[in-house]
Amino acid sequence: MIAATRTWLASVAEVGSEWVTWDFDQIKCADPVERETKTTAPSCQSPILRWPRVFVVFWSTLVFLIEADAARFVCYFPLPPNATTMPIDPTQPLPMADDCLPDSIAKPWREYRDAWAAHHANPGNATVRKALGIEGADESVSPSSGDAAARSMRLPASEWLLYTSKHFSLVTDVPEARAAAIIINLERFYAVWTQLFFPLWKDRRAGNLPPTNVRHRVVIISDANQFRELVRGELAGTKAEGIYSDLKRTSYFLDSDDDAASMWHEITHQLLNEATTDRSRTRAGERQDFWMVEGIACYMESMTIVGDHATVGGWQSSRLQYARHQLLGTGTDMPLATMRRDGRIAVQRRDDLVRWYTVAAANVHQMADHENGAGWLGVLKQLATIYQGNRSELARCNHPPSVSLASYLDIDDSQLQAVAPGSMASLCLTRTRVTSDGLAKIAPQSKLRWLDVSFLTIETDDVTQLCPLPDHLEQLSLEATGIDAGIAPWIATAKRLREVDLSSTRIDDSVIASIDADAPMETLWLTGATITDASIDTIAAMRTLKYVDVQRTGVSAAGVARLCQQRPDLVVNPLEIAP
Ligand SMILES: [Zn+2]
């Protein structure tokens, strides 16, 4: 009997470590199958979900209204005076011209933003640099001894160095070159944040410049054990690799090469707490609306440096891939009205935090994207209420989304704005209306670890052009697409595959034979694929394989028996197929 039992390996509250897995009870070849269960393919930073096919909702039949294009805001950051820049076109304007904004806020916001645009157009303009408070020609920061700072912060013994930039105080034991790069990026993020969140800080200092007398404290630790020990009380047993402590007014991170999103998440918490005006006396989101506190931090994870400028938001944001998987792939949602009622404690007690974070993030994306970005003002209004006690000049800014979250996530070709080649680690477009033409608009993404384009009307060439080099790919779902045996040479080069779904496709035995024998394959869904007994020996030879389904294929009962005989440890045909 199958009992698909959820087991939280880690229930975490922050990005960067949201690993959740589900466990089958012991299911052996001879066990009868009573309920269909299926694994799909999110990678790390996401839940791994098995979904009962009988519960899948075909959202495409429910879509009536579609929002405008996702708003991908362009922002600027300090550049060296001799930097060469390219004009940015098209740009996503910030919505400061919206009618709901009083001139007292719209005008200075526009001027501040224009100054940044002028800096981008001519980084050498000293007048603009002075106006923005970035007179210095050099972005680099020299370290000093961090011993005193480390003592005062009760950091463990290490070779601490202190880096002081205009807005940050970084104590770290990572190599100097890395620390220098980190602090430059922190300053870039700060500049981006000030442009997007202008109404929340504009009254902090005369002249509408971000204050420079307050430096935000950041600690980055290279040793994982030291990091966990230091933040043990804050993390409460989770495996997060970054956290902002509002009590200590400090962000702590375990050093990681490829986890900028975690840093932007925590620094967003920090700046909203420390750099805005008139903070409320209670913790933000303590009693209700904690979804917005986390949702905005998740939204800002999408901040991406694109050469000489940055973008925030957009369809390609990592959190939206997981949201599409969750809402369109599995059909699971959470009503926002219910989420709004919960404060911090209630949320942190949930046993479905990963799903909760995914929906919170997607809701903020949807709000921001509404009316081509005008909805951003609605996001700021809610933040002003949460962080500033409802003293908001944004009171008249109401831009509630007009369609369901699932409808928002069901994008089509026209909404796929171009993304930089190799910039995505996860891509999920399952059950959307995207076609071959839409995929062709996405630049080649050869760093994908998770690709789910199941149920799209696409062919083999569309997949191989989207991800020419699948050597990072760990989880792949091509279910019910138009791929065929021509995918074999491509699959052969994907040597890290752990979970693959080729169900309901026109592949043949050559595709199974092409799977690298040394790939760490654990799950292989082949239900309804055109394979035969010729694949049995290949499947049996996949040493790490745990689950395989070959129902409704050309595999015979004798073939299944042979597989069970060769691999008695393997769970074969666990899916209950609806008649
Ligand atoms: Zn958070």
- Measure 193 CA to ligand 1 centroid, in angstroms: 16
Rounded to whole angstroms, how far apart are CA atoms 24 and 160?
46
Min mean pLDDT across 2-6, 122-126, 247-251 is at 2-6
pLDDT at 311 over 70: yes
Q: What does pTM read for this prediction?
A: 0.86
pLDDT value of position 204:
64
* 128 CA to centre of ligand 1 in angstroms: 35
- Report the alpha-carbon distance of residue 433 to residue 176 in Å, rounded: 47
- What distance in angstroms lies between residue 121's CA and the mean position of ligand 1's atoms? 34
Instruction: Determine the distance separating the centroid of ligand 1 and the alpha carbon of 264, expressed in angstroms.
Output: 10
Distance 289 CA to ligand 1 centre (A): 13
Return mean pLDDT, the chain: 83
What pLDDT score does 233 carry? 72
Q: What is the pLDDT of residue 280?
A: 64
Confidence band of 524 (pLDDT split at 50, 70, 90):
very high
Please tell me the distance between residue 222's alpha carbon and the centre of ligand 1 in angstroms.
Answer: 21
Extended strands (E) in 307-413: 309-312
pLDDT digits (tens, 9 = 90+) for 553-577: 999 999 999 999 999 999 999 998 8
At 63 the pLDDT is 29
Q: Is 386 in contact with 285 (CB distance < 8 Å)?
A: yes
Strands (E), 80-237: 143-145, 161-164, 168-172, 216-221
CA-wise closest residue to 70 among 370, 434, 310, 323: 370
- Please tell me the distance between residue 520's alpha carbon and the centre of ligand 1 in angstroms: 32
483: its two tokens: 């791929």
Rounded to whole angstroms, the Cα distance separating 478 from 461 reads: 13
**Lowest mean pLDDT, pick from 122-131, 203-212, 335-344, 486-495:** 203-212
Residue 163 alpha carbon to ligand 1 centre in Å? 25
Taken in order of first residue, the domains within the chain and their CATH numbers are 4-56+415-572 (3.80.10.10), 125-279 (3.40.30)
Amino acid letter, residue 354? V
Q: Which residue has the higher pLDDT, 344 or 509?
A: 509
Say how many Å lie between the CA of residue 295 and the centre of ligand 1: 8
**Residue 271: which residues within 8 A CB-CB, separation 6 or more?**
190, 193, 197, 216
Cβ(44)–Cβ(72) under 8 Å? no
Q: Is 58 a residue whose pLDDT tops 50? A: no
Q: Quick one: tokens of 90?
A: 């098209």
The per-residue pLDDT for range 182-203, each reduced to its tens digit, is: 999 999 999 999 999 998 887 7
DSSP 433-487: S--HHHHHHSPP-TT-SEEE-TT---BHHHHHHHSS-GGG--EEE-TTSB-BGGG
Mean local confidence (pLDDT), 159-179: 94
Strand residue runs (E) in 101-159: 143-145
Cα angle at 322 between 526 and 192, to 5 degrees?
Answer: 150
Cα(549) to centroid of ligand 1, in Å? 38
Measured in Å, residue 259 CA sits from the centre of ligand 1 at: 14
Q: Is the pLDDT of residue 56 over 80?
A: no
Q: How far is the centre of ligand 1, averaged over its atoms, from the C-alpha of 147 (Å)?
A: 29
Residue that wins the pLDDT comparison between 300 and 61: 300
Give the pLDDT of residue 577: 81
User: From ligand 1's centre to the CA of 504, what distance in Å?
Assistant: 39
Residue recorded with tokens 């003592």: 151
Whether the per-residue pLDDT at 6 is higher than 60: the answer is no
Beta strands in 25-96 (DSSP E): 73-75
Ligand 1 centroid vs 291 CA: distance in angstroms?
10
Write out pLDDT tens, residues 30-46: 222 222 345 443 332 33
> What's the CA-to-centroid distance between 265 and ligand 1, angstroms?
6
327 CA from centroid of ligand 1 (Å): 21
Q: What is the mean pLDDT of residues 433-459?
A: 96
- The string of pLDDT tens digits covering residues 67-117 is 445 688 999 999 999 999 998 865 667 887 778 899 988 999 999 999 999
Contacts of 282 (CB under 8 A, 6+ apart): none
For 315-358, how does the pLDDT look when each residue is reduced to its tens digit (9 = 90+)? 999 999 999 999 998 888 889 989 999 998 899 889 889 899 99
Span 410-428, mean pLDDT? Answer: 92
Whole-number Å distance, alpha carbon 294 to ligand 1 midpoint, is 5
Q: Is the confidence at residue 5, as pLDDT, over 50?
A: no
Q: How far is the CA of 401 from the centre of ligand 1 (A)?
A: 24
Q: Is the peptide bond before 199 cis (omega within 30 degrees of 0)?
A: no
Q: How would residue 371 be classed by pLDDT, with cut points 50, 70 and 90?
A: confident
